[in-house]
Structure formats: C-alpha cells, structure tokens
Amino acid sequence: MSKIVKGTMLLTGATFLSKFLGMVYLIPFEAMVGDTGGTLYGFAYIPYTIFISISTLGVPLAVSKFVSKYNSLGDYETSRKILKSGMQLMALTGLVAFLLMFFGAESLAKMSIRQDDEEISLASVTNVIQMVSFALLLIPSMSIVRGFFQGHESMAPTAVSQVVEQVARIAFLLIAVFIVVEIFDGPIEVAVGFATFAAFIGALASGLVLYIYWRKRKPYLDRHLEQQDYSYDIPQKKMFKELLGYAGPFVLVGIAIPLYQFIDNLTFMDAMYVAGQGDLANTAYAAIIVYGHKLVVIPMTLATGLSLSMLPAVTASFTEKKTQLMHKQINQVFQIVVLLILPAVVGLAVLSGEAYGALYGIEGIEVKGPWLAWYAPASLLFGLFSVSAAVLQGINQQNFTVISLTAGLIIKTSLNIPLILVFGAKGSIFATLLAVATAVLLNMWRVKKKAAFPMGPLFKRSLLVIIFTAIMAIVLFILKFLFSFVLDPTSSRLDAMIVLITGVTAGGGIYLWLAYQSTLLERVLGGKVRVLDRFLKRKQV
C-alpha cells in the first residue's frame, strides 16, 4: 500500500476503535442512567465539544499543515518553533475557555432546558457542564503535540494517545457511574457529573502517552535540525499570522457537527412541545442526538482518519506543484470514503431497529429504530464534509469552508423548527441532512474548480460501490424476512442481537467478497490487501 494509505489506515483504525469504544460504553451507561441521563449528558457534552474547538482555534490541524509545509522546504527549525509557541498559546486559550465554561455553565444550561421540565433541573445541567469543563485545561495543549507529529507524517502518537484517552475515560466513567447508581443508589445527575468529568481523566492519560513518544523521538527530530542548511527565520508575529490563517477555517470544521447538535439543544425541546410531542422530547433527544449519534459517527470516523492523515501529503504535493500526484491523492481519498462508508450507512439503515434494540434495549424501539434509519445517511455526509474540507485546506482554499459551513448552518437553523413541527423528531434529522448536503456540494464544487479535479474516475468507482451495496442490501432484506418467521427483534433483545450479528456478518462478508473479487479494493486502496489474500482467492482470468 502507498504511504498515505498506510498512515490513513493506522489513524483511521485508532479513531474507529476509539469511536467504537465510545459507542460500546453507552450500552451499560444507558442501562444505568436511561434516556434522562443520556439527555443530561448531551446537554453538557455538546457545548464542551464546541468549547474545545474554539479554545484550540483550529491550531492543532493547522500545525500539521504548517509543519508539513516547512519540512518539505527543509526548514525543521521553524517547525520546532511553532510547536513551542503553539503550546504556549493553547495553554492560555484552554484556561480562558475553562473559565468561560465553568462560570457560564448556568447560562448554557438555561439555553438547553425548559423551565417546566420535571425530569431535568437547571442545577443538574449546570453541575454537569462545570464538571466537564476541567478537561479544557489539558486538551488544547495536548492536541498541539498531535498536530506536530502528524505534520511529520507520524500517525502513531495520535493513534495510540486517542485510544488510551478513550480507554481511561470510559473506565473512570463506568466505574464512577456504577458506584454512584448501583452501590450508593445516588441520583442520576451526580452519576452523569462524574461521567463528564471523565474527559479530564482521559486527557491526563493521553498527555502521558504523548510525553513518552516525545522523549523517544526527540533524538531523531533533533538530527533533522542538525542537518538543516537553511532557515527562513520567520518572526513569531508573522509565523502566528500564517498559522492562524490556516487555522481559522479548521475551527469551523472541528465544530461542524457539534454546531448542528447545539442548534438542536436550543430548539429541539421547545419545538417538540409545540408540536404536541413533549412527552417524547427527552426520549427523542437521547435516542437521536446522544445514543443514535454514537452509532452514526462510527462509519464516518473512517473519513475523520482520512482527513487528518491525508492533509500533510496533499499539502506537500500542492506546495511542490505536483498536480498529477495531488489529483491521484484526492481521488483516492474520496474513493475510500465512498468504498467504506456507503455500505456501512446502508447496512445501518436496514438493520436500524436491530442495532438500536441489541445495543440499547427494545423499549420504544418502534420509534427509535426508524429515527436511527433516517439519521444513518448523515454519516456519509459528515464524512464527505470532513474530507472535502481537509482537501480545501491542502490546496490553500481553507477560507471557502467558512462559506460552505455557514450555508449549512443557516439551513439547519431556519428549517429545524418548521420541520420538527411537521414531521416530529424526524424533522431535526431532515434539517441536518439538508444542511450538511448543501455544505458538501459547495465544497466539492470548490475542489473541482480550484484544483481542476476530474470527477469522472470518482463517479465511475462510486457507481460500482453503489451496485455492490445494493446487492448487500437485498441480502439483508432477505435475511430479515426469513428471520421474521422465527425471531421478533422488536420484543426480544436477544433476537435483535442474533439478527444484527448475522446481518452484519453476511452483508459485510458479501460486500467485501464482491469488492475483492472485482479488484475494487486494491484499485482504491492503491495495492493488494494481503490480509484478505490469505482468506479469499480471486479467480484468475
């Protein structure tokens, strides 16, 4: 496989594992705190995610691009300077973000809940927001180191630290919630408060991993400095100006999904009550925006890994004016997104009821399953937005991301309440899909125009993926029909689990076999997939 794909797969694998763990822990978490606890958790975590992105100013990913650029020019000293200066800046912005979120917690809480909500109090939401805010003291500075390593096309530090961070966070979260709820029979709001504070524990663990990597690799990085012949000797003011020029749009990319969710925080509850579905408000919020969203983002983590790992390579090709190579890299990345995410989205939509019922329980599955099915396409759209935005960064068109995301947010804001009033909870999903689709189309148009990117090869490969995905979907529908004679996933969690596992195994296996036999996998990934070569044999023509 090519170097970009190897780096992609490493970071994507780690991101996928991290997101997968982030979904799995919700199974026992939901069992202990229910929909009310999930809604309370979402009220705190969504603003926290926005504060994280604002406090980092998009600098970590911008550092990746900055370091890649100056490394390709042989100026490693400037790369090292930006690491030091960036960490100092992030320490300051992290502190400011913590103070704003901690002392502004009550104001944020008032934005999210209704004053007459009998299940969730203002004090409870305020408390969990304050508990999660402590992580802001660590994560901004820590993320700079990740960006520095990625700029050197070294993905292992980011990959390992992500997984360790998630494992430490989840372990603390589940133990704390179990002690509060199961042992001391404490209130849900206290348990959720400890659950959000777990972000701080995870950040500590991740920071330790990155420190170990830095100590180990510093001698190698120092040798680059010793062998350097020329330095641009950029003044710090000019360096920050260039860095923040890259970074600005990264802020918007980083908070794209949380912003769409935050619009729901501001409007969802009131709109549901006006629509006459107030009794479903907390259940729908938890099922769609907290629990369902965790399932939806798992496929799109493939795109997240791609957008992070492809940026240094595309930036280098653009800087060195290697247009043909740049086109090949961009085309390969978009093809991988379609190849891997589209079948996952369709599979999740077909097996939505079984997936939700098996993981979170069958209570209310008759409405929660369809909600998840409608929400599943958001995974592909979020993934395409992430990757297209990263491409725009790589070709120095990052400012356009501001326009595309703004257009999406305007659509989400203007349509969210009207669509909820017409379609109920699904209206929020429809508003999100329309908003993100608009942003994606704008980004793709800009990539095509400014990079002279040919869309033909992408469309041809995508058509083949669509055909294979359609075959997979037919198989899944047949399996569900046959299982319906002996199993009832709507009334038994075990039945839902059996159908889900069988469907994922059969559907995924058939799609993988078709993609392998047609050579689609190796053509998209840029080389033979040796793991599959051991199990599958392609017919020789």
DSSP 344-388: HHHHHHHTHHHHHHHHH-STTHHHHHHHHHHHTTHHHHHHHHHHH
What is the per-residue pLDDT for 231?
67
What is the per-residue pLDDT for 138?
92
Percent of the chain past pLDDT 70, that is, above it, reads 90
Task: Indicate the pLDDT class of residue 523, thresholds 50, 70 and 90.
Answer: confident
Range in 13-22, 39-48, 470-479 with the lowest mean pLDDT: 13-22
Q: Six-digit token pair at 210? A: 């990155």
| Helix/strand/coil percent split, the chain, to 5 | 85, 0, 15
What is the per-residue pLDDT for 452?
82
304-347 pLDDT tens trace: 665 556 666 777 788 787 888 888 888 888 888 899 899 999 99
What is the per-residue pLDDT for 309?
64
**Which distant-in-sequence residues (6+ apart) come within 8 Å of 325 by Cβ?**
317
What is the per-residue pLDDT for 310?
64
What is the residue whose two structure tokens read 């990319």?
Answer: 253
The arithmetic mean of pLDDT across residues 106-121, rounded, is 82
**Closest-CA residue to 428 (of 436, 437, 417):** 417
- Whether residue 177 is predicted with pLDDT greater than 60 in this model: the reply is yes
DSSP labels, 83-105: HHHHHHHHHHHHHHHHHHHHHTH
The arithmetic mean of pLDDT across residues 198-222, rounded, is 91
Give whole-number Cα distances, 512 to 9, 340, 508, in Å: 17, 10, 6
Cβ–Cβ under 8 Å, residues 262 and 428: no
356-386 pLDDT tens trace: 999 998 988 999 999 999 999 999 999 999 8
Q: Six-digit token pair at 541? A: 């023509």
Range in 96-100, 175-179, 252-256, 346-350 with the lowest mean pLDDT: 252-256
438-463 pLDDT tens trace: 999 999 999 999 888 888 888 988 99
| CA-derived radius of gyration, the chain | 23
Cβ–Cβ under 8 Å, residues 228 and 74: yes
The arithmetic mean of pLDDT across residues 498-515, rounded, is 94
Give whole-number Cα distances, 337 to 309, 355, 375, in Å: 13, 22, 18
69-91 pLDDT tens trace: 787 777 788 888 888 888 888 89
Alpha helix segments (H runs only) across 25-121? 26-56, 59-72, 76-103, 105-112
Average pLDDT taken over every residue of the chain: 87
What is the per-residue pLDDT for 175?
96
Range in 96-100, 118-122, 214-218 with the lowest mean pLDDT: 118-122
What is the per-residue pLDDT for 304?
64
125-167 pLDDT tens trace: 999 999 999 999 999 888 888 888 888 877 788 889 989 999 9
Q: Six-digit token pair at 131? A: 């508990």
- Whether residue 527 is predicted with pLDDT greater than 70 in this model: the reply is no
Task: Indicate the pLDDT class of residue 398, thresholds 50, 70 and 90.
Answer: confident
What is the per-residue pLDDT for 246?
67
Reading phi first (left if > 0) and then psi (alpha if -120 to 50, else beta), residue 434 is in alpha
- Whether residue 261 is predicted with pLDDT greater than 60 in this model: the reply is yes
